[in-house]
Amino acid sequence: MYRYFFKRFIDILASLIAFTCFWWVFLIVGCLVKTKLGSPILFKQERPGKNGKIFTMYKFRSMTDATDKDGKLLSDDERLPKFGKLLRTTSLDELPELWNVLKGEMSLVGPRPLLVEYLERYNDFQARRHEICPGITGWAQVNGRNNISWDKKFRLDIEYIDSYNFLLDIKILFLTLKKVFLKEGISQEDNVTTTKFKGNKKL
The pTM of the full predicted model, rounded to 2 decimals, is: 0.89
3-state helix, strand and coil shares in percent for the chain, rounded to the nearest 5: 55, 10, 35
Average pLDDT over residues 42-51: 96
* DSSP secondary structure letter of residue 103: H
**pLDDT band at 180; cut points 50, 70, 90:** confident
Going by C-beta distance under 8 Å and a sequence separation of 6 or more, which residues neighbour residue 74?
66, 67, 68
**For residue 144, is it left (φ>0), alpha (ψ between -120 and 50) or beta?**
left
CA dihedral of residues 50, 136, 54, 117 (deg, nearest 10)? -110
Decide: residue 169, CB within 10 A, 0-12 exposed, 13-18 middle, 19+ buried. buried
Average pLDDT over residues 186-190: 44
| The pLDDT of residue 49 is above 90 | yes
| The pLDDT of residue 191 is above 60 | no
* 17-26: Cβ within 8 A, 24+ apart: 18/95, 18/98, 19/98, 19/102, 25/92, 25/95, 26/95, 26/96
Average pLDDT over residues 189-202: 69
Average pLDDT over residues 4-16: 96
Instruction: Kindly calculate the radius of gyration of the chain based on its CA atoms and give it in whole angstroms.
Output: 17
Half-sphere exposure of 124 (CA within 13 A, CB side): 0
- Measured CA to CA, the distance from residue 138 to residue 173 in angstroms comes to 8
pLDDT at 196: 87
Residue 54's DSSP bridge partners are: 48
- Measured CA to CA, the distance from residue 39 to residue 43 in angstroms comes to 10
Average pLDDT over residues 65-71: 82
* DSSP secondary structure letter of residue 1: -
pLDDT at 8: 97
Residue 37's DSSP bridge partners are: none
pLDDT at 190: 42
